[in-house]
Amino acid sequence: MKKLFHSLAPLAVLAACAFGAQAADYPAKDKVITIVVPFAAGGPTDRVARDLAEAMRKPMGGISIVVDNAAGAGGSIGANKVAKAAADGYTLLVHHIGMATMPTLVRNIPFKVESDFEYLGAINDVPMTIIGKPALPANSYKELAAWIEQNKGKINLGNAGVGSASHLCGLLFQNALKTDMTPVPYKGTGPAMTDLIGGQIDLMCDQTTNTTSQIEAKKVKAYAVTTSKRLTTPALKDLPTLQEAGLKNFQVTIWHGLYAPKGTPADVQKKLNDALKVALKDPDFIKKQEGLGAVVVTDKRMEPAEHKKFVAAEITKWSPIIKAAGVYAD
């Protein structure tokens, strides 16, 4: 046995050197970093990831950063893809509040949010809006509430699948109104938005990063925001909060974070976090995000350990709310 250890020792040293060299050379000029987005192209998570990829490119030494939309199952297909990817810093995940709500909303997800990822930091906070198809007769939240009451059992509600943010918001909305709507799942709220504009679905609750430009262009009707305060973005500033519209304690804010597979070398994580922090201070990135109602993170959640603590706190916060509302699914 002793002999075997002796013969393996040089191999272990070699492996450690190779691994160390890889981390020191990171990011290699001939490689590409892929950010996996667990929803369809053209939606809000996709939007954040593409803007972030652009802003991180320079601080990552000019390397190509591309987006891979691994959409489906409310965001769990993409997250699982990253959980199982090589931990070399070339596959990353941008995901939203689903990292914290999915473990309670969906009972059987194929990965562990707390132990299958390295947390690289938070990106932004994004309000949600309640929006409707253009042909809806309601022109205010009050009229929408009356229309929902009159059309009980006939209304459908688009979402990005079980476990997504639009699923969570839609379930809380139905729960608060004590009404059931028919869910229509999509691979992301980008394609759901196309159908809402086309009138194939009636309502949706979605991030302002997807809805602001459609509200501005009057392609959809907007009724309320899910934050506790009204927003200042010009196209959204006249919308009431759901709380002031009478839905007590209704408050949902979506946040996004950046993750790598568990086991990504510490110095690679540090390079990625440094680049993330540069991106979060990039005036172009901030301007794009603010124009869509999002607030770029400037607080301690930029730090991986703080973001991890924040996600753990969000799991603790949302779990009883979801369970009490009885809104989870298998």
Nearer to ligand ASP, 207 or 212 (CB): 207
Nearer to ligand ASP, 69 or 233 (CB): 69
Q: Where are the beta strands (DSSP E) in the chain?
A: 32-37, 64-69, 91-95, 117-132, 156-159, 182-185, 203-207, 221-225, 253-261, 295-296
Q: Which tokens sit at 271?
A: 């390079």
- Give 203's DSSP letter: E
Q: Which span sits near ligand ASP by CB under 6 A: 57-65, 116-124, 158-166, 176-184?
A: 158-166
Name residue 58's amino acid.
K
Our finding on whether 207 is near ligand ASP (CB under 6 A) is: yes
Our finding on whether 190 is near ligand ASP (CB under 6 A) is: yes
Of 114-133, binders to ligand ASP (CB under 6 A) are: none
Closest chain position to ligand ASP (CB):
43
Our finding on whether 183 is near ligand ASP (CB under 6 A) is: no
Q: Which span sits near ligand ASP by CB under 6 A: 56-64, 163-171, 269-277, 305-313?
A: 163-171
Nearer to ligand ASP, 36 or 160 (CB): 160
Q: Which span sits near ligand ASP by CB under 6 A: 26-34, 43-51, 138-146, 286-294?
A: 43-51
Using a 10 angstrom Cβ sphere, with 0-12 exposed, 13-18 middle and 19 or more buried, the burial of residue 22 is: middle
Our finding on whether 211 is near ligand ASP (CB under 6 A) is: no
CB atoms within 10 A of CB 323: 12
Quick check: 215 and 132 in contact, CB under 8 A? no
Our finding on whether 160 is near ligand ASP (CB under 6 A) is: yes
Query: Minimal CA–CA distance to 103: which of 307, 263, 254, 311?
Result: 311
Quick check: 289 and 123 in contact, CB under 8 A? no
Our finding on whether 72 is near ligand ASP (CB under 6 A) is: no
Our finding on whether 43 is near ligand ASP (CB under 6 A) is: yes
Rounded to 10°, the helix 76-83/98-105 angle is: 110
Quick check: 147 and 85 in contact, CB under 8 A? no
How many of the chain's residues bind ligand ASP (CB under 6 A)? 16
Using a 10 angstrom Cβ sphere, with 0-12 exposed, 13-18 middle and 19 or more buried, the burial of residue 219 is: middle
Q: How far is the CB of 191 from ligand ASP (least distance, A)?
A: 8
Our finding on whether 188 is near ligand ASP (CB under 6 A) is: yes
Q: Which of 68, 202, 206, 282 binds ligand ASP (CB under 6 A)?
A: 206
Which residues in this chain contact ligand ASP in the complex, by CB under 6 A?
Answer: 39-40, 43-46, 159-160, 164-166, 188-190, 206-207
